[in-house]
A = this chain, B = another copy of it.
């Protein structure tokens, strides 16, 4: 998050205006991305979570399930390295790795600079995997149709009330690693109740990317949304 810097003089720096300018500039670029995606009829997901909640695993499962129906491309966002892009490349779909070089989130401009690396004709679905971070990515639009977040059961059911923005901004919350529920302290009722108290329209799917339990509902939601967008 970049909105609240403090210094010796007081809690909020006057440089807050810089931050607002950056967010405004980002929104303008995100809007331009959105226009391009609309021209090409590309449905775009912005996939966000803590490190290790299962973004890449969900991506792998989703590609496996839907790549015969839809032409999918992927943008991987990491601070450094290309491990995730290599996992995705195995599915023989176009993938570009963004290395943010330290930055804690993906922004609209990073996406824009990445797009010339793809052939966008006939693409149905672009999935962007954000940097693993439950805080900062929620503030930066990239021109997506929907923000989708993952909460994994080992993280605990107290997360919605502690990291509210990402739950408020997301259209979907995927509760992953339900296979671990017997071994971790996770109160499913509380997690869902607290998340819905922040965002009553939140779609919730309980899944295990390891056992594939629950994933069919997610595939169906995504497929329905892609079709509705293309026909809309």
Contact = CB atoms under 8 A, between A and B. Distances in A.
Contacts of A135: 79, 104, 131, 133, 136
Interface stretch (A36-44, A61-69, A118-126, A151-159): A151-159
A159 B22 contact: no
A39 to B, nearest CB: 19
Q: Chain A's interface: helix, strand, loop or mixed, by majority?
A: loop
Interface in A135-179: 135-136, 152, 154-156, 158-159, 161-165, 177, 179
A109 interface: yes
Task: Indicate the size class of the contact surface on chain A.
Answer: 35 or more
B25 A159 contact: no
A185 to B, nearest CB: 8
Interface in A70-105: 78-81, 83, 100-104
Interface stretch (A3-11, A212-220, A224-232): A3-11
- Copies per complex of this chain: 2
A115 interface: no
Contacts of A155: 50-52
Interface string A161-201: 11111000000000001011001100000000000000000
B78 A162 contact: yes
Interface of A: 1-8, 11, 13, 15, 18, 21-22, 25-26, 28-29, 50-52, 78-81, 83, 100-104, 107, 109-110, 113, 131-136, 152, 154-156, 158-159, 161-165, 177, 179-180, 183-184
Given A2-B5, A78-B162, 17 more contacts: A1-B100, A5-B22, A6-B109, A8-B28, A15-B21, A51-B134, A51-B159, A80-B162, A80-B164, A104-B133, A104-B136, A131-B135, A132-B134, A132-B163, A154-B184, A180-B184, A183-B183
6 contacts: A1-B103, A52-B159, A79-B165, A132-B163, A133-B136, A154-B180
